[in-house]
Structure formats: C-alpha cells, structure tokens
C-alpha cells in the first residue's frame, strides 16, 4: 500500500512514473537490459541523456545561451563549485542568509573567497525574506547567492532580487519545476534532484554559458562547469538510472500540462493547507504570509507533547514523515509536485480530527 509521504527529501515520485520505470526495469526499450546495466557511452543511454536535457530546456524555457548539466555530489557540492567556477574575478561574493542551507553555502563560499552576508533573516528565526535592492550588494561582487525556497523554515522569494547586473546564483533544490521561473534573470540555478525532479544522486545545474569560462585553475575537474559542458555531463560514469527516472518525471510533467499547470495545482494545495492552519485556532505557521513556501509548510500544535503524538498518529493513518526539522520543531508537510491534492486533503482531515480529539 502506498502512503502519503510528506518527507522533505528524498520525497514522493509520481506513481505513474514508478510504474513506467518498473515496466522498463528488465528490458528498457527493447535493449534486453535495464538502464542500470547500460554503458553510459551506448546509443540508448545517449538518447536518455539528450532527451532529459531537451525536456528540461523545454519545460523551464531555458534560453540557448545557458548550459544544462547533470552532475553528482548534491546541491551541497555546488556550494563549492559556484565560488570555484565563477567567483574568480574579484574573489568576492555576497550571500543572502535565509536559512540553514543558505548558511552552509555562505560558510563554504568563505573557504574560497571573500564571502559577505549581504542580508540575513536570522534575527526572526528565518521566518521572512529580507528586503533587497541593488544597494544591498557590493558592486564588485562576482555573484550574489540566494536560496530561493528555504526547505527547513518554509519561506520563499516572491521574485528574483534586482542585483543591478551582478550574476545571481540560486539554490532551487526545493522548488525547481514547482512554479514558473524566468531563467534569464539568473546566472546559475542549481538543484539536487531528490525533492522535485527525481531520485537522489543527480544535481541539475543551469548556467549561463559565458560564466563557464572563468574557472579557478585549481578547481577539481569534476566540479568544472566547462568540463561538464564539453563532455555533455558524461565526463565520468554518471548516475544513469537516476537520470533516466528524471527523464520519466519530466515526460510526465509535460503530459500533465507542464509547469504552468503544476504551479496552479501547487498554489491550490498550499493555499488550502495554510487557510486551514490559519483558521484552526490550534495550529500555527509563523512565516510572514507573503513569504510562505508553496512546497514546505512547517506548523506546530499547542504543545511539544501534542506535536509528538500528532506525528505518531498521522503515521498510523498513512501520513508519514511529518516530523519537523530539529531547528524548527513541530511538524513540516513537504508538498512537492508529486504529492497529490488528495494527500493534502487527507492531511487536513487528519489535522481537524486530531484537533477535536485533543482539545485544550
């Protein structure tokens, strides 16, 4: 039996995709083997690699002057790849610290260059996105780094900040493909796959081509964007099977109306949940309303004891992985693209039942 899995990542995949993958598991497309057993230099795999890139380019409307890379090491590896590839002109970069991952990105940036905190929302436990304008940034910074959706704290940017031409780098791990994004506003977009794109093991990097040509000579070869561009992300053995599953996720996203349609569903799903929380007189989400994430919804009940009971009883009811991150406590419902609307409805019904059974 399938459960509704609210994990922040790795997270749910669409059932249709799992069924398709299962169907091709033993014999992919008449090759007599699974994608797991296939040479990454073979024609059938080349086809998967090319198709995955083409689908992502089409779905996200990625302009021709951007490269799309499929690399390893997770979003975390990009915390090092970004300074080593593009922070090489003035060796200065500005970071906006809006949560835990943004903080780690900044810390890793400071290993390689002069990494300043341009703004932070730590004063209010990351419950908002700071006001930003071109004057927030040093004009000679090589890039500005932001985390577009903060997975742990449940905030997101409403729009890309204006950096007055400084290349803007965004960690989109927990919101990529969930809403329309104007790629041309960004210099680099990166995202670990395991939240909205597919299985763990692949990281998507979308980089403006001119920025791939200034890597630090000491940048490890696997991190070099120019190297990955030249080899079409096939410099060494890639996680073929994970990329293949991504291809099927993208095929399915395209068949079901693409990102525009997905965004409507995500807006509906999250609005339902926030509306219920706000009107419940019982559950609380402390994020400032205009910054609430479409994807990660943290909330608390009236006490820590009730939170623990909630998580345990929800799991028994087939609503799993609702425990909040240790930095926030309480609960967190991650409602990525693959979480069906019925899953959110089931959660709200459970929340209401729990509230009635545990009145104050």
Ligand X SMILES: *Cc1c(COP(=O)(O)O)cnc(C)c1O
Binding site for ligand X (CB under 6 A): 9, 74-76, 101, 147, 151, 171, 173-174, 192, 195
Q: How far is the CB of 175 from ligand X (least distance, A)?
A: 8
* Nearest partner of 168 among 208, 225, 223, 201, judged by Cα: 208
Residue (4 or 101) nearer to ligand X, CB: 101
Residue (126 or 276) nearer to ligand X, CB: 126
Residue (52 or 174) nearer to ligand X, CB: 174
- As a whole number of angstroms, the distance between CA 24 and CA 47 comes to 15
Residue (87 or 192) nearer to ligand X, CB: 192
Q: Are 284 and 328 in contact (CB under 8 A)?
A: no
Residue (149 or 301) nearer to ligand X, CB: 149
Q: How far is the CB of 203 from ligand X (least distance, A)?
A: 6
* Per-position b or e across 90-128, b if 16+ CB within 10 A of its CB: eebbbbbbbbbbbbbbbebbeebbebbebbbbeeeebbb
Q: Are 204 and 190 in contact (CB under 8 A)?
A: yes
Q: How far is the CB of 83 from ligand X (least distance, A)?
A: 16
Give the three-class secondary structure for 300.
strand
Q: Are 129 and 289 in contact (CB under 8 A)?
A: no
Give the three-class secondary structure for 194.
coil
Phi, then psi, of 171 in degrees rounded to 5: -80, 110
Q: How far is the CB of 76 from ligand X (least distance, A)?
A: 3
Type and span of the H or E element at 10: none
- As a whole number of angstroms, the distance between CA 243 and CA 266 comes to 24
Parallel, antiparallel or unpaired: strands 149-150 and 155-156: antiparallel
Q: How far is the CB of 326 from ligand X (least distance, A)?
A: 15
Residue (203 or 301) nearer to ligand X, CB: 203
Q: How far is the CB of 154 from ligand X (least distance, A)?
A: 11
269 CB-side CA count, 13 A = 27
Q: How far is the CB of 19 from ligand X (least distance, A)?
A: 26
* Nearest partner of 146 among 117, 180, 183, judged by Cα: 117
Residue (52 or 301) nearer to ligand X, CB: 52
Q: How far is the CB of 172 from ligand X (least distance, A)?
A: 8
Region of residue 244 (left: phi > 0; alpha: psi -120 to 50; beta: else):
alpha
Q: How far is the CB of 177 from ligand X (least distance, A)?
A: 13
Q: Are 287 and 293 in contact (CB under 8 A)?
A: yes
Q: Are 264 and 148 in contact (CB under 8 A)?
A: no
Residue (151 or 243) nearer to ligand X, CB: 151
Residue (78 or 212) nearer to ligand X, CB: 78
């Amino acid at each position: 039996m399938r459960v509704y899995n609210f994990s922040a990542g790795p997270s749910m995949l669409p059932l249709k995709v799992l069924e398709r993958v299962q169907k091709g598991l033993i014999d992919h497309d008449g090759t007599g083997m699974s994608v797991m057993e296939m040479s990454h230099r073979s024609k059938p795999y080349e086809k998967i690699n090319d198709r995955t890139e083409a689908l992502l380019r089409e779905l996200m409307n990625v302009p021709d002057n951007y490269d799309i890379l499929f690399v390893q090491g997770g979003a975390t590896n990009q915390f090092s790849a970004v300074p080593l590839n593009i922070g090489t002109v003035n060796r200065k970069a500005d970071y906006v610290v809006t949560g835990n991952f943004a903080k780690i990105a900044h810390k890793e940036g400071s290993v390689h260059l002069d990494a300043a905190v341009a703004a932070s929302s730590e004063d209010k436990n990351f419950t908002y996105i700071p006001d930003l304008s071109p004057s927030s940034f040093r004009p000679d910074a090589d890039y500005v780094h932001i985390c577009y959706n903060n997975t742990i704290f449940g905030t997101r940017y409403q729009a890309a900040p204006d950096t007055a031409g400084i290349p803007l780098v965004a960690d989109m791990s927990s919101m990529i493909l969930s809403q329309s994004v104007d790629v041309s506003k960004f210099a680099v977009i990166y995202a670990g796959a395991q939240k909205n794109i597919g299985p763990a093991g692949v990281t998507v990097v979308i980089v403006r081509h001119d920025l791939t040509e200034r890597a630090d000579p000491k940048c490890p070869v696997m991190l070099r964007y120019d190297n990955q561009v030249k080899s079409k992300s096939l410099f060494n053995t890639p996680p073929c099977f994970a990329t293949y599953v991504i291809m099927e996720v993208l095929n399915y996203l395209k068949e079901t109306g693409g990102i525009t349609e997905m965004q409507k569903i995500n807006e509906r799903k999250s609005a339902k949940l926030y509306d219920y929380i706000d009107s419940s007189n019982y559950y609380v989400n402390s994020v400032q309303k205009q910054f609430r994430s479409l994807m990660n919804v943290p909330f608390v009940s009236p006490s820590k004891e009730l939170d623990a009971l909630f998580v345990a009883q929800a799991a028994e009811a087939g609503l799993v992985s609702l425990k909040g991150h240790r930095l926030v406590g309480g609960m967190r419902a991650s409602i990525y693209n693959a979480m069906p609307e019925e899953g959110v409805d089931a959660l709200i019904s459970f929340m209401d039942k729990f509230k009635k059974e545990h009145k104050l």
